[in-house]
């Protein structure tokens, strides 16, 4: 089966620092990939390359068979790649529901100049998305009024409303109180499973990784040094000392 994401020989350095060292990588549909590594190891740079935000100096990236190496982030999104952010990126003067509605419109061509936004999107889908992340009752609240955990959920929900094949999440549980992390992650993963969305997330919390990932990739100095099941990677002595700092 064709991989959802495939990169060959992706290379990028900034002023002497190698951020991505000849990366060959594949991600398959249905996987839940957790990416671990110290800050500066290259995890976020690689995500920025795959989402079109940065261009590699060498190599190619394919999304569902299509060469996306030189595509703009916008085009890549429209192909089915969603993204959520470490600091939730919301429309702070819109309500929770409106944020989802805007995302649900998905393309300029479907934006109306006259009919209200709410009337142009699939209401059932919007409500079901809100329901999936547990934000149904908060639908009319201003997105900036939400507590941190719910803002993270809204951030993911906006990506979900795009009907993507893949959602890339940058530290989904960071900034959330430790007792709430598992609840948050459970909600997110259930929602993604329900909509059959593959997930790729950067995470520092080992327990979260162990519980929710089906595959773990560890980064050191711009290269993936370990790639396998959570059991294998998290118990690898080199990873434990150099990445997890045990």
Partner 1 sequence: MFFDILPLALVDGIAYACLLFLVSMGLTLIFGVMGILNVAHGAFYAFGGYSAASFIMMLAPTTESAWIPLVSLFLVAIVVGTLLGGLMELVLIRRAQAYDPILKLLLTFGALLMLEDVQRFIWGAQPYSASEVVGRLGNIELGNITYTTYQLVVVPATALVAYIGLEYFLRYTNLGKQMVAVTHNREVATSLGINAGKIGLITFIIGAILGVLGGALASPTTSLVPGAGADMIVLSFAVVATAGLGQITGALIAALMIGILRSIAVYMAPEVEVAVPYIIMGLVLLVRPHGLFTVAQARTI
Partner 2 sequence: MMYAISAIGAALILAAGHFLPWTITPIIIGLTYAIAALGVSVMMRAGQVSFGHAMYACISAYTVAFIARAYPGTDAITLILAGVLVSVLASAIIGVFMVRYRGIFFGMLNLALSMVLFALLSKLYHITGGTDGLRIPRPPFLGMTLERESFEFLLLGLALVISFGLAWWVQRYFRSGNGAALAAIKTNETRLEYLGFSAYVVMWRGYLLSATVVGFSGSLLALIQGLVTPELGLWLRSGEYVFIAILGGAGHAVGAFLGALVFEAVKLTSSAYFPHLWQFILGFTLIIVIFLFPKGFVGQLSKRMKL
210 binds, among partner 2, partner 1, none (CB under 5 to 8 A by kind): none
Residue with tokens 């990236």: 61
Please give the structure tokens belonging to residue 33: 């990939």
> What CA–CA distance (Å, rounded) separates 83 from 92?
18
Q: Residues 54 to 93: which contact partner 1 by CB under 8 A?
A: 85, 87, 89
Question: Using the 8-state DSSP alphabet, how is residue 223 labeled?
Answer: E
Per the DSSP assignment, residues forming a β-bridge with 66 are: 63
Half-sphere exposure of 232 (CA within 13 A, CB side): 10
To the nearest whole angstrom, how small is the minimum distance from the Cβ of residue 163 to partner 2? 11
Written as six digits, the tokens of 81 are: 């790649």
In the block, which residue shows the tokens 């919301």?
90
The site partner of 106 among partner 1, partner 2, none (C-beta below 5 to 8 Å per kind) is: partner 2
Question: Any contact of residue 179 with partner 2 (CB under 8 A)?
Answer: no
Residue 15: CB minimum distance to partner 1, A: 13
Number of residues that bind partner 1 (CB under 8 A): 3
The answer to whether 201 and 34 have CB atoms below 8 angstroms apart is: yes
Instruction: Based on the shown chain and the rule CB under 8 A, indicate whether residue 90 belongs to the binding site for partner 2.
Output: yes
User: Where does this chain touch partner 2 (CB under 8 A) — which range of 2-10, 71-79, 130-138, 169-177?
Assistant: 71-79
Q: Which of 22, 26, 29, 105 binds partner 2 (CB under 8 A)?
A: 105
Residue with tokens 């790649």: 81
Whether residue 215 contacts residue 3, with contact meaning beta carbons closer than 8 Å, is answered with no
| Residue of 186, 226, 192 lying closest to 208 (CA atoms) | 186
- In terms of Cβ atoms closer than 10 Å to its own Cβ (0-12, 13-18, 19+), residue 119 is exposed
Tell the smallest beta-carbon distance from residue 95 to partner 2 (Å). Answer: 10
Site for partner 1 contains 174 (CB under 8 A):
no
Per rule CB under 8 A, count of chain residues that contact partner 2: 30
Binding of residue 229 to partner 2 (CB under 8 A): no
Shortest distance (Å) from residue 48 CB to partner 1: 9
Report the relative pairing of strands 223-228 and 66-67 from DSSP bridges: unpaired
Among 2, 13, 66, 107, binds partner 2 (CB under 8 A): 107
Rule CB under 8 A: say whether 17 interacts with partner 1: no
- Closer CB to partner 2, residue 155 or residue 205? 155
Q: Cα–chain-centroid distance for residue 12?
A: 21
Give the binding site for partner 2 (CB under 8 A): 73-74, 77-78, 83, 89-94, 98, 101-103, 105-108, 110-117, 120, 158, 162
Give the binding site for partner 1 (CB under 8 A): 85, 87, 89
């Amino acid at each position: 089966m064709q991989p959802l994401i495939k990169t060959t020989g992706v290379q990028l350095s900034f002023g002497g620092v190698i951020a991505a060292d000849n990366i060959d990588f594949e991600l398959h549909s249905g996987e839940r990939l957790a990416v671990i590594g110290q800050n500066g190891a290259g995890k976020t740079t690689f995500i920025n390359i795959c989402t079109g935000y940065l261009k590699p100096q060498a190599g190619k990236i394919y999304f569902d068979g299509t060469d996306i190496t030189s595509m703009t982030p916008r085009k890549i999104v429209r192909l089915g790649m969603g993204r959520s952010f470490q600091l939730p990126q919301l429309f702070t003067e819109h309500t929770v529901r409106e944020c989802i509605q805007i995302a649900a419109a998905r393309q300029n061509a479907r934006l109306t100049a006259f009919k209200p936004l709410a009337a142009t999107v699939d209401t059932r889908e919007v409500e079901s998305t809100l329901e999936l992340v547990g934000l149904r009752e908060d639908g009319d609240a201003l997105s900036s009024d939400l507590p941190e955990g719910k803002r993270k959920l809204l951030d993911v929900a906006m990506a979900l409303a795009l009907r993507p094949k893949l959602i890339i999440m940058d530290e989904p549980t960071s900034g959330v109180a430790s007792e709430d992390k598992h609840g948050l992650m459970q909600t997110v993963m259930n929602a993604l499973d329900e909509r059959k969305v593959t997930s790729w997330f950067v995470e520092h919390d080992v327990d979260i990784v162990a519980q929710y990932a089906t595959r773990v990739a560890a980064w050191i100095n711009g290269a993936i040094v370990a790639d396998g099941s959570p059991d294998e990677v998290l118990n690898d002595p080199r990873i434990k000392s150099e990445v997890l700092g045990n």
